């Protein structure tokens, strides 16, 4: 199976989990190579995500690392099996790889929770709101680059419509609701769109009022994707140089606590919808 010089985040994650499982079992790369009948370099490349891992090889490794019929091992084998070409691949080489990695992360998630403090949830953007957000990027993007990003962002929303769609919970700080990206008209339509989206069975929006005071992770947009098992959860943060993906136990514990705080501090879903609706009427 050919190697990839630019593995996706999902490929890197599978390799990292196999490496974590191997080291926990006290096995070396030489041990893994012997199990698979390959040289150590190929094992290292698999664990780096550079060389794809087949489901058969993932099953051999997990079983020999002491994970017999565990949900964690089964989830890793399933990751190796899921090698379909996603819709986001149409944007490969046209958009930064990190944006495609976010779409792939969402597509395979069992559940998603997000926390927004400046922008509104990306999975619920209108075209004009998204266009305004990307229009404010520095260094400035060309008109074509902006439109590609808008098209990609809107296509991401199909994950909410597919059969067996995951549950989505978005925590929105009140400050983000007052940010008029694109002006009053665009913001008004965006807020109305949020209200409509929040009536969907699999979408829940919760507003954190400004009078709640200080809050954890101020200034950071957080996407928390629940995996098939807790060990495969992923936290994704936006940064000036692109998306960051984190999945160490310490990091996941921190961001779960962050979202749990938002849950307790936020208004209920119905009250939040009414709150957003009232703001849209004021514009």
Nearest-angstrom CA–CA distance, 65 and 12:
19
Q: What pLDDT does 207 receive? A: 98
Average pLDDT over residues 270-280: 97
Residues recorded for the chain: 283
φ, ψ for residue 272, nearest 5 deg = -65, -40
Nearest-angstrom CA–CA distance, 199 and 258:
25
Nearest alpha carbon to residue 157 among 148, 169, 165: 165
Nearest alpha carbon to residue 131 among 156, 102, 152: 152
Render pLDDT for 159-211 as a digit per residue (tens, 0 to 9): 999 887 789 999 999 999 999 999 999 999 999 999 999 999 999 999 999 99
Parse the chain into domains and list their residue ranges.
9-81, 95-282
Q: Burial code of 183-195, b = ≥16 C-beta within 10 A, e = fewer?
A: eeebbbbbbbbbb
For domain 95-282, give the CATH number.
3.30.870
For domain 9-81, give the CATH number.
1.10.260.40
Q: What angle do CA 57, 82, 4 make, to 5 degrees?
A: 70
Average pLDDT over residues 143-170: 94
Instruction: State how beta strands 111-116 and 167-173 pair.
Output: parallel
pTM score: 0.94
Q: What pLDDT does 5 receive? A: 62
Choice between 66 and 68, residue whose per-residue pLDDT is larger: 66
Residue whose token pair is 């692109």: 242
Q: What pLDDT does 220 receive? A: 79
Q: What pLDDT does 1 receive? A: 43
Q: Would you give the end-to-end CA distance of the chain in angstroms? A: 56
């Amino acid at each position: 199976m050919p190697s990839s010089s630019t593995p996706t985040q999902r490929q890197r994650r599978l390799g990292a989990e196999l490496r974590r499982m191997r080291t926990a079992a006290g096995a070396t790369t030489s041990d893994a190579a012997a199990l698979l009948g390959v040289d150590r370099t190929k094992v290292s490349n698999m664990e780096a995500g550079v060389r794809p891992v087949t489901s058969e090889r993932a099953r051999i490794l997990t079983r020999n690392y002491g994970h017999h019929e565990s949900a964690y091992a089964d989830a890793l084998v399933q990751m190796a099996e899921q090698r379909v070409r996603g819709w986001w691949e149409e944007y490969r080489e046209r958009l930064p790889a990190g944006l495609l990695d976010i779409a792939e992360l969402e597509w395979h998630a069992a559940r998603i929770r997000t926390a927004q403090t400046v922008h509104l949830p990306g999975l619920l953007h209108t075209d004009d709101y998204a266009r305004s957000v990307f229009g404010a990027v520095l260094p400035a993007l060309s008109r074509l680059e902006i439109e590609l990003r808008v098209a990609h962002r809107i296509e991401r929303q199909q994950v909410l419509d597919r059969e067996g769609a995951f549950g989505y919970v978005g925590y929105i700080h009140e400050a983000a609701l007052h940010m008029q990206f694109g002006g009053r008209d665009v913001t008004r339509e965006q807020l109305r769109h949020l209200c409509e989206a929040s009536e969907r069975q699999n979408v829940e929006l919760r507003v954190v009022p400004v009078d709640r005071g200080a809050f954890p992770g101020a200034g950071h947009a957080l996407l928390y994707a629940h995996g098939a098992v807790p060990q495969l959860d992923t936290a994704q943060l936006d940064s000036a140089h692109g998306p960051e993906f984190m999945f160490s136990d310490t990091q996941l514990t921190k961001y779960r606590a962050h979202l749990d705080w938002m849950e307790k501090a936020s208004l209920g879903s119905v009250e939040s919808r009414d709150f957003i609706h009232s703001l849209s009427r004021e514009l």
